[in-house]
Amino acid sequence: MSLLVVGSMAFDAIETPFGKSDKIIGGAATYIAWSASNFTRPIKQLSVVGGDFPREELKILEARGVAMEGVQVKENEKSFFWSGRYHMDMNTRDTLETQLNVLGNFRPVVPDSYQDCEILMLGNLAPSIQLSVISQLKNKPKLIVMDTMNFWMETAMSDLEKLIKKVDVLMVNDSEARQLSGQYSLVSAAKAIMEMGPQYLIIKKGEHGALLFNDDKVFFAPALPLEVVFDPTGAGDTFAGGFVGHLARTKDHSFENMKSAIIVGSAMASYCVEKFGTARLKELKRTDIDNRIQQFKDLTKFDINLDTDWV
């Protein structure tokens, strides 16, 4: 049993108020694998790269238990490339350039060795590609988790609606939740989105934390207040990787355990933003992650005695 991760492996070039990166390694599936491989192995990676993608980057992930059989290497093509510039608030960004390259005609093929997947993590990609992966799986995974974005709501809403019916956990940010539901209140938005299919909804609010909804229940995960957010790229994917990594490790997909999974994801994301790209994730040790999770515990813990008379 394993975790199947679908998503881009790519190049990014990033500008923030604090600096500018060269063309560096990025992509949703890259961040998810780096994050999740702290918690669970094996991970089955499904993606596509061009001949320009460094083999070394695949090898260091393989050494962390990430299988690469499902990663197509198109020798004569170029990898997906995105460049963007973040504003001062680090929540908004402008896309400077997008080169689809190998993603433009990506046809995912699920290897036989991936058919045992217990959790399917669909990183942000065209809904038609995400649908194709689901349809190739002979057994329905125990849990399908999906990340998407506003771009697909604007360009592929019909596919997206079909897909959303098939997933158990949907992850979007707050503005995407409002766009998808047409509701301003996030509580109302969550109700409307859960009626579209997913039993669980995670609304990511960046520096304001994340909300988990299920039926009438809600959980609020804080974000760690950080002095410097150096580069937010990949934070959402790193969050997703920690989330599914924790669920795969503990084999418990209950609402209660999803609360913990969100904290783990938030802890991983809080490290991701400390350096450009995957740099910080590549340095992390188990003790770093333990310490950060402990900080999250301390951050929201309080005690109020309701058993006394007040006035």
Task: Return the number of the residue (165 or 228) whose C-beta is nearest its own copies.
Answer: 228
**Least separation, in Å, of the C-beta of 76 and its own copies?**
36
Window 126-165: contact mask with its own copies (x via CB under 8 A): ----------------------------------------
- Alpha-carbon span 24 to 26, nearest angstrom: 6
The three-class DSSP label of residue 48 is: strand
Asked whether the CA dihedral 190, 195, 196, 197 is positive or negative, the reply is positive
Cβ(127)–Cβ(151) below 8 Å = no
- If one asks whether residue 243 binds its own copies (CB under 8 A), the answer comes out as no
The three-class DSSP label of residue 239 is: helix
The three-class DSSP label of residue 221 is: strand
- If one asks whether residue 254 binds its own copies (CB under 8 A), the answer comes out as no
Options 113-121, 138-146, 273-281, 288-296: segment touching its own copies (CB under 8 A):
288-296
Report the alpha-carbon angle 160-208-206, nearest 5.
45
**Least separation, in Å, of the C-beta of 149 and its own copies?**
21
Task: Return the number of the residue (56 or 307) whose C-beta is nearest its own copies.
Answer: 307
Which amino acid, 248?
A: A
- If one asks whether residue 219 binds its own copies (CB under 8 A), the answer comes out as yes
What are residue 310's phi and psi, to 5 degrees? -100, -60
Which amino acid, 206?
A: G
- If one asks whether residue 201 binds its own copies (CB under 8 A), the answer comes out as no
Instruction: Say how many residues make up the chain.
Output: 311
Please state at what angle helix 127-136 crosses helix 157-164, rounded to 10 degrees: 40
- If one asks whether residue 297 binds its own copies (CB under 8 A), the answer comes out as yes
- Alpha-carbon span 277 to 296, nearest angstrom: 23
**Least separation, in Å, of the C-beta of 249 and its own copies?**
6
- If one asks whether residue 38 binds its own copies (CB under 8 A), the answer comes out as yes
**Least separation, in Å, of the C-beta of 285 and its own copies?**
12
The residues in 159-188 that bind its own copies, with binding defined as CB under 8 A, are 184-188
- Alpha-carbon span 93 to 244, nearest angstrom: 26
Cβ(293)–Cβ(263) below 8 Å = yes
Task: Return the number of the residue (144 or 229) whose C-beta is nearest its own copies.
Answer: 229
**Least separation, in Å, of the C-beta of 311 and its own copies?**
5
Residues near its own copies, by CB under 8 A: 37-41, 65, 88-89, 184-188, 205, 208-209, 211, 218-223, 225-229, 246, 249, 256, 259-260, 262-264, 286, 290, 293-294, 297, 299-304, 306, 310-311
